[in-house]
């Protein structure tokens, strides 16, 4: 499994020839940095909240790939990938919305993607429902999503082996990422371009943080 980051909350997960994408932004999204709208072929696209920041599905149709789109709660099986979505209410851009958190079992690894999670109260909707979490994608930017301190509380409940912070402003002094790393690790971290992960790599891990640079 290879995981890469494409801005905002967009992550590409590739196992062999199969490509799964979380929350690709539309070209109108203000979360896009340096005009880099992600565009590549995907087999599966998961959209946690219906907003231009996360629903750029049209950009994931490319070459011979047209994605199967999951955009709400339920249980799905596509290409031997098992997906479970649980909805909760959040307030995004001053409007009450439904955000779906996803648990994805792929290549023997449980990925938990929280999407536009906005409060620690919403964590009650998923605690115990997802079981073991190997890799947790958690927003930390504050405002419409969790603050770094709130994200830390969510980590305690879910107990992930790896943690991927997302949805924060980059290149900002004392950013929410800096705060999050100080609270959870007490130090800065060098971003990685990609994460190559196998089931055996999870052994002995507990809350290890991975910071990505944008592809």
66-103 pLDDT tens trace: 999 999 999 999 999 999 999 988 999 999 999 999 99
Count each helix (H run) and each strand (E run) in the chain, helices first.
Answer: 2, 13
CA–CA distance, 139 with 148 (Å, rounded to integer)? 8
pTM of the model as a whole: 0.94
Question: Poorest-confidence range of 49-53, 136-140, 189-193?
Answer: 189-193
Res. 35 pLDDT band, cuts 50 70 90: confident
Domains for the chain: give ranges and CATH numbers.
2-209 (3.60.15.10)
To the nearest 10°, report the CA torsion of 191, 196, 199, 202: -20
């Amino acid at each position: 499994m290879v995981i890469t980051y494409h801005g905002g909350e967009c992550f590409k997960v590739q196992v062999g020839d199969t490509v799964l994408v979380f929350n690709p932004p539309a070209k109108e999204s203000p979360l896009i940095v340096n005009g880099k709208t992600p565009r590549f072929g995907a087999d599966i696209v998961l959209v946690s909240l219906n907003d231009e920041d996360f629903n750029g599905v049209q950009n994931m149709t490319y070459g011979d790939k047209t994605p199967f789109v999951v955009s709400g709660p339920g249980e799905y099986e596509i290409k031997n990938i098992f997906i479970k979505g649980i909805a909760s209410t959040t307030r995004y851009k001053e409007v009450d919305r439904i955000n779906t958190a996803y648990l994805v079992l792929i290549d023997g690894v449980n990925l938990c993607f929280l999407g536009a999670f906005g409060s620690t109260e919403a964590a009650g909707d998923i605690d115990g429902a997802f079981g073991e979490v190997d890799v947790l994608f958690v927003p930390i930017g504050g405002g419409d999503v969790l603050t770094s301190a709130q994200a830390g509380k969510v980590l305690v409940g879910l107990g992930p082996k790896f943690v991927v912070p997302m949805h924060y402003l980059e290149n900002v002094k004392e950013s929410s990422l800096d705060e999050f790393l100080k609270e959870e690790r007490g130090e800065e971290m060098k971003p990685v371009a990609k994460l190559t992960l196998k089931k055996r790599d999870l052994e002995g891990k507990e809350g290890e943080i991975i910071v990505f640079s944008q592809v």
